[in-house]
Amino acid sequence: MFAAVLDTSVLWPSLQRDFLLSLAAEGSYRPLWSSVILDELIFHEARKLVTRGTPTGEAQASAQRLIDQMSTAFDDALVTDWESLEGTYGLPDPDDEHVVAAAAKGGAEVIVTSNLKDFPAAHLPDPIRAISAKEFVYDTVRQHLTQACCAVLEICARSGRRGPHLTPAEMLTILDDRYGMTDTAELLFAAPGLREALR
DSSP secondary structure, 73-103, as one string:
HTTT-B--S-GGGTT-S--SSGGGHHHHHHH
Q: Is the pLDDT of residue 111 over 80?
A: yes
What is the share, in percent, of the chain residues with pLDDT greater than 70? 99
CB-CB neighbours of 157 under 10 Å: 10
pLDDT bucket at 195, cuts 50 / 70 / 90: confident
CA distance 194 to 148: 10
Average of per-residue pLDDT values in the chain: 94
What pLDDT band is residue 175 in, cutting at 50, 70 and 90?
very high
Q: Give the containing element (helix H, strand E) for 129.
A: strand 129-131
Question: Sheet of 129-131: strands edge to edge?
Answer: 30-32, 3-6, 110-112, 129-131
